[in-house]
Amino acid sequence: MKIMFYDTKPYDKIWFQPMGQDMGFQMKFQEVKLNEDTAVLAKNYDAVCIFVNDDAGKNTIRILKELNIHTILLRCAGFNNVDLKAAQEAGIQVLRVPSYSPEAVAEYAMGLILAANRKIHRAYVRTRDFNYNINGLMGIDLVGKTAGVIGTGKIGQMMIDILKGFKMKILAYDPYPIESLEVEYVDLDTLFERADVISLHCPLTKDTRHIINKRSISKMKDGVILVNTSRGALINTSDLIDALIRQKFTGVGLDVYEEEDEYFFEDKSDDIIRDEDLVRLTSFRNVILTSHQAFFTKDAMEAIARVTLENAKAVEEGRELKNIVLP
């Protein structure tokens, strides 16, 4: 199988190159993202391997079909950037990495909660300027407070385990509750009303898009901490900014952003940022914004490469496709 990789960085090649060569794949790595203009680069290849901000929409799928591409390999868990119906109609198989390191994402989400609560990011900046004044850096004890976890898949479950270690009361919401999970499931409104800390761990679907909006924010406690390490469009950014202006949140930790495609994973330090919402978010001292790095550990990257290439091998050998994604 010949695989064209899109949106690759040096750290992708560390694991994919040696593993892929050992498995007999021919691979080429492109820095550009997949879209309808760059799809032609996959001519004479069998499969494309893409990441979270590549565009495998209807028009891109049409071009891939014309190029006889038969497989899209997602080196991530989410698949909201792929038109699954168009892919199925084109006869293109879509495979993903459903679980690579739920621990990595959950640990990072807890890190954002701790930093947002105790203002660690602000303390770091102060002390680098030899300012040792702690005024304005007060937080709360998490012990005995209530945490709300939205989404109880593998990452959400790991998050619940971590929160239990902090002796927090835990509420959970998921349309498909897990009976064996020792947690109190509630409806969304109840979670919003009772939680002191809210962490998002659900996929982006038509039902979860903008699950955090003006209405849901209005139901939250004043001084709540909100963290999102899942998908940016779970939050309506304009509504979040309005609430930040009204000082609704003690802190907000975002590892994802609704319109991140153009910016995240890239060095834009010399550019003029034209996304007004992104600029506005970075202006709030109680917002921690990072560049979609919650997954980024050695363990996770190795697992992503291994499972992605195992998916490709299963296609090549005509075996059962355990990680196929269907509409």
Tell me the β-bridge partners of 232: none
Burial class (CB in 10 A: 0-12, 13-18, 19+), 65: middle
* End-to-end CA separation in angstroms for the chain: 25
pLDDT in tens, 249-283: 999 999 999 999 889 999 999 999 999 999 999 99
pLDDT at res. 60: 98
Q: Is 68 left (phi over 0), alpha (psi -120 to 50) or beta?
A: left
Angle between helices 102-118 and 120-128 (to 10 degrees): 60
- Which pair of structure tokens corresponds to residue 46? 């069998």
pLDDT in tens, 59-103: 999 999 999 999 999 999 889 999 999 999 999 999 999 888 899
pLDDT at res. 163: 98
- The label of the residue with tokens 């750290």 reads 11
Q: Please give the average pLDDT of every successive group of 10 residues along the chain, which has 327 residues.
A: 97 96 97 97 98 96 98 94 97 93 95 98 97 97 98 96 98 96 97 98 95 98 98 97 98 96 92 96 97 95 96 97 95
71-74 and 47-50 beta bridge pairing? parallel
Q: Which residues are catalytic?
A: 231, 260, 292
With beta carbons less than 8 A apart as the criterion, state whether 203 and 325 touch: no
The CATH number fitting domain 2-100+297-316, selected from 3.40.920.10, 3.40.50.720, 3.30.70.920, 3.40.50.150: 3.40.50.720
pLDDT at res. 21: 96
Dihedral sign, Cα of residue 253, residue 242, residue 260, residue 149:
positive
With beta carbons less than 8 A apart as the criterion, state whether 119 and 136 touch: yes
Residue ranges, comma separated, of all CATH 3.40.50.720 domains in the chain are 2-100+297-316, 102-289
pLDDT in tens, 88-100: 999 999 999 988 8
- Which pair of structure tokens corresponds to residue 302? 């190795």
For the chain, how many residues are written?
Answer: 327
- Which pair of structure tokens corresponds to residue 141? 């004890």
Burial per residue of 103-121, b for 16 or more beta-carbon CB atoms within 10 angstroms, e otherwise: bbbbbbbbbbbbbbbbbeb
pLDDT at res. 261: 87
- Which pair of structure tokens corresponds to residue 277? 């919402």
CA-nearest of 22, 24, 82, 23 to 48 is: 82
Give the CATH number of domain 102-289: 3.40.50.720
Find the Cα–Cα–Cα–Cα dihedral 13, 40, 45, 32, rounded to 10°: 0
Give pTM, 2 decimals. 0.89
Element holding 146 (H helix, E strand): strand 146-150
Please give the full DSSP string across 157-172, using - where no structure is assigned: HHHHHHHHHTT-EEEE
- In which order are the strands placed within the sheet that holds 146-150? 184-185, 169-173, 146-150, 197-200, 224-228, 249-254, 287-289
